[in-house]
Amino acid sequence: MQKRKLGNSNLEVSALGLGCMRMSHDESPIPDKQEMISFLHAAVDRGITFFDTAEVYGPFTNEELVGEALFPFRGQVLIATKFGFKHDLNKRPGPMIGMDSRPEQIKRVAEASLKRLRVEAIDLFYQHRVDPDVPIEDVAGAIKELIQEGKVKHFGLSEAGAQTIRRAHAVQPVTAVQSEYSLWWRTVEEEVLPACEELGIGFVPFSPLGRGYLTGKIDENTTFASVDIRSRLPRFTSEARKANRVVIDLLVRIGEQKGATPAQVALAWLLAQKPWIVPIPGSRKLERLDENIGALAVELTSDDLWEIEAALSKITVLGARYPENIERQTGR
């Protein structure tokens, strides 16, 4: 397995990570826990060392799953988790009721996540979304204290804008920024990626396969469960899925030249952008995991990248990424 370092930090991880959210969240029915534990063990066997979870996934159950599954591999793998939401702890399973990145809340979440993950220190602790009610300097300061206490190793931000990243980094160096990035969502190229490059921060794309669309396995006839977030996204209406097949046609064409699948081309394109980019596609099946790992063997030349760029410049992807009320929460 190829390795990459996240920016200027000493955090070295497998060149592809694994997003664990849908192993116990946003699914109906929820996958079998023992099957997911076996799957996570298989991922480690294949060289994956970077696993992504969050308090809010489940909520809580995803951290518990990842913690139990990866407990035998302590010291061999790195787990990233996230804080930043408030839960109604008087109800089960503790539904999310808003944002909360107050320093006291961050520290409470850290203690709870440490127990669920069964670790002595959180490898990478992201703020899940920027909280408009808490100065980012206070957030970074709280993480700095947790790092000094040995409870957290690295600080991360998710879906933060360039200005927020700079302000946070001035208080406590940011190791990684996690945001959506793929062939069909490239907004981070405008300001966020340049800021990361300037500051020596690694970048972790979530939804690198466009929530599954870039695999080529989704079309206008695909149906989604009501709990699946894609059932509520403008980009996943039947009309949008049909119109956006032109993106898949491009990936198929490049893939035929390379002996690769659309998903492998999409991941290879991301990996070719910067050496400090580590995508975290979410998988729950071994064949998908193996397909994704195969992207590491797909070499896109400068001519290939130019061809993809030229083709994409003529394509307008239909549909917003999120409904407007959710999109306003991102990129601050």
247-256 b/e (C-beta count within 10 Å ≥ 16 → b): bbebbeebbe
**What SS3 class is residue 82?**
strand
Task: Determine whether 258 is exposed, middle or buried from the number of CB atoms within 10 Å of its CB (0-12, 13-18, 19+).
Answer: middle
57 is catalytic: yes
Pairing relationship of beta strands 18-19 and 85-87 according to DSSP bridges: unpaired
Cα–Cα distance between 283 and 260 in angstroms, integer?
A: 18
Backbone angles phi, psi at 316, to 5 degrees: -110, 115
Do 175 and 143 form a contact (C-beta atoms < 8 A)? no
Annotated active-site residue in 57, 126, 181, 213: 57
Catalytic annotation, residues: 57
